[in-house]
Amino acid sequence: LMMSSANAQLGSVTTHMDGKGVFPSMINYLSDHLNSILNPIATVELMMATFLIGQPALTKFAQEFPTKEPIGKTGVTVDYGLIRESFAEDRYEFGMKGKFYETSKPYDPQPVQEPFYMPWYDESLGDAQFFVSPSSINSALWSFWKTGGLKFTLTDSMLPKKFPLRLNTHDLDTVFPGLKDQFGDNIPCTITAYPSTYPTVAIKDGQITLSYDGGLLTTVLQGSNNSVDALDLAANFDVVVSVTTKDKKIYPNFDTVSLKGVKVNRSQIPHLDIFKVSQNLQTVTAAVTKAVNQSVFAKGLDLPTIGGVDFTNPSVTVPGEYAVVAGTPDFSKLTENIAEVVVKIFEQQFHGAVDSAFGLKSNDDSIDFSNLLQQ
C-alpha cells in the first residue's frame, strides 16, 4: 500500500495528498465528499497521524485475522497465519503461510519445497500487489490428493452441446478401437481421471507448468445399476500455461500440452493396440487444447472488483518464481455513503488502535469517529 506526504487544510476541506496509491487516493476521494463530516478546525500534517492510526490498526487486523479455515467438507484446512509484516514509509507488506493440510493429520510432513525468498515490491506493477508461490499451490494439490479430492468423473452431460466427441461407445471407439464391438453401439460412458501421485506446479520464466501422472478410466454404463470398467490407462501430462492481461481481462493460454508414457493398467477390450490408442489420445488432446484456447481463453476472463474498489491497469504476471496479481486501486466507483462505511469500520474494528494513537482512554466498546476528528 503506497502512501505519500500530505497536507490537509481542514478549514476549507481542501485535503490533498501528493503522489499515487491507496492512501492518497482514499484521502483525496474523502476530501471531495465529506464536507459534512470534516468540520473545519485547523491545518495539520497528516503523515504522522496516518502512521499512528494505520500501523497499529493494520497490525491489529493482521494479528486478529483467523489463521486456519476448513475448506467446506473436503477434509482439507488452509493455514494462512501471518509470518511476516512490515510497515515501511511508502507501503505495508505482509506474508502469510498459505499452507494446506489434511484436517485430520495437521502434522504430517509434505514433500513440498518451501519458497527460498519473499518477493520484492515492483513499482511498475501498481500500488496493490498480491503474490502466490508455487509452494502454496503444491501444498493444496498434495492435500487434496491425499483426501481424494482430485479424482474427477466426466459425464456426457458435462460437455458442451457442440463438443465434437460424445461420451458413448460409438464416438469413443475412434479413440479406443474395439470398444464398440465389445460393448455395443451408442452405449453411454464416463471417463474418470485420477492422479497416481500429487500433481505439481512450477513457475519460471513467465510460464506456469503443471505436471500430472495418473490414470484415465473409461467406464461403460450398461444399465442403471450395471457398469463395466472397460479400459484403465496410465499416462503423464505436462501442461504449460502463459498468462497475459489487457483491458481489465486476463487471457490464459495453453502453450503446450504433452501426453506421454501411455500404458494399459487394465483392459476389457480384446487385442487393444496401445500404440494406436496413444496416437489417438494425442490427437484428441491437441484438438481439445486448441478448442479451449480459441473458444474460451480467447474471450478473456473478467478481473473482478474487490469490495467495490476497481483497479486500473490490472495485471496477472509470472515474472519470476511467483504469480503476481497487481493493479492500482480506483476508489471513484465507491458508493456515496463511503463515509458511513469508514466510520463504522473504525468504530467496530480499530477503536483500540485509534485510542492508542491519540492517547485516549475509553470504557465504551466503540468511538464516535466524527467527534474524534473534532478532538
129 φ, ψ to 5°? -135, 135
In tens, the pLDDT along 105-130 reads 988 888 888 776 777 778 788 888 88
Task: Give the span between the Cα atoms of 241 and 318, in whole angstroms.
Answer: 11
Residue 277's pLDDT is what?
95
Residue 219 has what pLDDT? 97
Confidence (pLDDT) at 207: 86
Measured CA to CA in angstroms, residue 80 lies from 65, 72, 75, 83, 95 at distances of 9, 16, 17, 9, 9
3 state SS for the chain: CCCCCEEEECCCCCCEECCCCHHHHHHHHHHHHCCCCCCCCCEEEHHHHHHHHHHHHHHHHHHHCCCEEECCCCCEEEECCEEEEEECCCCEEEEECCEEEECCCCCCCCCCCCCCCCCCCCHHHCCEEEEECHHHHHHHHHHHHHCCCCCEEECHHHCCCCCCCCCEHHHHCCCCCCHHHHHCCCCEEEEEEEECCCCEEEEECCEEEEEEEEEEEEEEEEECCEEEEEEEEEEEEEEEEEEEEECCEEEEEEEEEEEEEEEEEEECCCCCCHHHHHHHHHHHHHHHHHHHHHHCHHHCEECCCECCEEEEEEEEECCCCCEEEEEEEECCCCCCCHHHHHHHHHHHCCHHHHHHHHCCCCCCCCCCHHHHHHC
Neighbours of 1 (CB within 10 A): 18
Integer Cα distance of 67 and 70 in angstroms: 10
Q: Residues 293, 328: contact at Cβ < 8 Å?
A: no
User: How far apart, in Å, are the Cα atoms of 333 and each of 280, 301, 310?
Assistant: 52, 21, 7
* pLDDT, position 124: 82
What pLDDT score does 7 carry? 39
Residues 302-349 pLDDT 10s? 776 665 667 778 888 887 788 888 888 776 665 444 555 556 655 555
How far, in Å, CA of 73 to CA of 77, rounded?
Answer: 10
Whether the model clears a pTM of 0.75, i.e. scores above it, the answer is no
Spans in the chain with pLDDT lower than 70: 1-66, 87-90, 116, 304-309, 331-375
Instruction: Check residue 287 and give its pLDDT.
Output: 85
pLDDT for 109: 86
In angstroms, the CA 52 to CA 308 distance is 26
